[in-house]
Amino acid sequence: MDNLPPPIQVTRGDSGGKPPPSDDSLVEFKVKNPFQKFFNWIISFMKRNANITIKIPLIGIFIALFGAGYTIGFNNAISKFFPDSSPLFHRAISVEGIIQRGSSGKFYLKSGDNTWTLKPVNQEINPADYMDQEVTIKGNLSSQKGVIEVAEVISTTPAPPAEPVIPAPLSNPPISSNSSNFSDLPVLYSGLQWETSQKKLLTFTSGKRRIEEQGIYFESAMINQFPQEFINYYLEDLNGKGFKETLNSINPDGITITYSKDNLFLTFGVKYKYSGSGDKKQFTGYKAFIEHN
């Protein structure tokens, strides 16, 4: 008795005066696996002790009957009967396809001729972040037909090719200014690559009121490190030329500083760039900017 496996429960009870069951009412099978001797022992023990009840968990019988090597074959057989659901074990699945949204607001995965309904297992998984993208869905089948309980979404959509960068000139461009002292502006900082240069309506502050004027806007290419030398360059140059600071703002979107002198205004700073939204929002880098009237 000491060698019995833990899952087995043995209970003694009164047979009620009834004769022990016949051999035919017991288990009648033969299985050629490492557990055959164990089941032979159980059958023999039951014959000798009719008033003893033996309880073995269902999963224990399954493992004992088929062994680990037969489990894979069993799963393959089950998947043939239930190719798009898993009523009992919620088996794992990995499917590639394109995420789409139905008219009801539910999200689906279009994979070849199959369409799977996506059911995220937690709030951190948002299929909307991958709309119309090629993805790999990892999760488990549910008891409902064609429903995947999504545990992970991996985007496999190739990144779009980078747009060609046209560097702007490294000095102030010959665009007319509303100010008569245009030459007082610092020379455009040459330590960064400027990919945007355009004329637009800009908003400045004199410290007491907001001023809207047509001006010039520059924006740098994306950089990975905060451009402190760029900030220092304009602080030193503007202070040295008699400009006065009228705005200094720091917030989660970046840093903005405005200087003015007579009727000339210049704003510069750094923008913090992000990708994604909500819980998926991630910091990606910095972009420096300059604008003046």
The pLDDT of residue 192 is above 60: yes
Q: pLDDT at position 138, please? A: 92
Give me the mean pLDDT over the 34-53 stretch: 62
State yes or no: pLDDT of 111 exceeds 70.
yes
Q: What is the mean pLDDT of residues 117-128?
A: 88
SS3 string, the chain, reads CCCCCCCCEEEECCCCCCCCCCHHHCCCCCCCCCCHHHHHHHHHHHHHCCCEEEECCHHHHHHHHHHHHHHHHHHHHHHHHCCCCCCCCCCEEEEEEEEEECCCCCEEEEECCEEEEEEECCCCCCHHHHCCCEEEEEEEECCCCCEEEEEEEEECCCCCCCCCCCCCCCCCCCCCCCCCCHHHCCCCCCCCCEEEEEEEEEEEECCCCEEEEEEEEEEECCECCCCHHHHHHHHHHHHHCCCEEEEEEEECCEEEEEEEECCEEEEEEEEEEEECCHHHCEEEEEEEEEEEC
Q: What is the pLDDT of residues 127-151, one digit of tens each?
A: 888 888 899 999 998 888 889 999 9
pLDDT band at residue 118 using 50, 70 and 90 as cut-offs: very high
What is the pLDDT averaged over residues 229-257?
90
Average pLDDT over residues 225-229: 93
Look at residue 112 in the predicted model and tell me its pLDDT. 86
Q: Which of 114-118, 178-182, 219-223 has the lowest mean pLDDT?
A: 178-182
Q: Answer with the residue of higher pLDDT: 159 or 13.
A: 159
